[in-house]
């Protein structure tokens, strides 16, 4: 997948090939930040919208992960 957008509450990504993902599915997304320590980010997310191979998702159970995302997004 290619992460197209990222926020403290969710992400949008595009798959390289067609995928069998439906609205309401819960996914485990895992990727490295491209700055700094290239830290691994892994979280559950629910699919909220679909457009072709683009999927908009909301993170679930962040439990403090907002700080890690905020540091990455706003640094």
C-alpha span between 37 and 6 (Å, rounded): 18
In this predicted model, which residue has the larger pLDDT, 58 or 33? 58
Residue 63 pLDDT > 80: no
Q: Is 69 exposed, middle or buried (0-12, 13-18, 19+ CB in 10 A)?
A: buried
Assign domain 2-74 one CATH number from 2.70.98.20, 2.40.10.220, 1.10.10.10, 3.40.640.10: 2.40.10.220
Residue 26 pLDDT > 80: yes
C-alpha span between 72 and 54 (Å, rounded): 23
pTM, 2 dp: 0.79
């Amino acid at each position: 997948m290619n992460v197209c957008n990222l926020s403290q509450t969710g992400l949008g990504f595009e798959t390289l090939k067609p995928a069998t993902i439906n609205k309401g599915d819960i996914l485990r997304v895992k990727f490295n930040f491209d700055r700094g320590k290239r830290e691994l980010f892994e979280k559950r997310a629910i699919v909220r919208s679909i457009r072709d191979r683009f999927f908009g998702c909301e993170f679930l159970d962040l439990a403090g992960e907002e700080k890690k995302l905020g540091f990455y997004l706003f640094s």
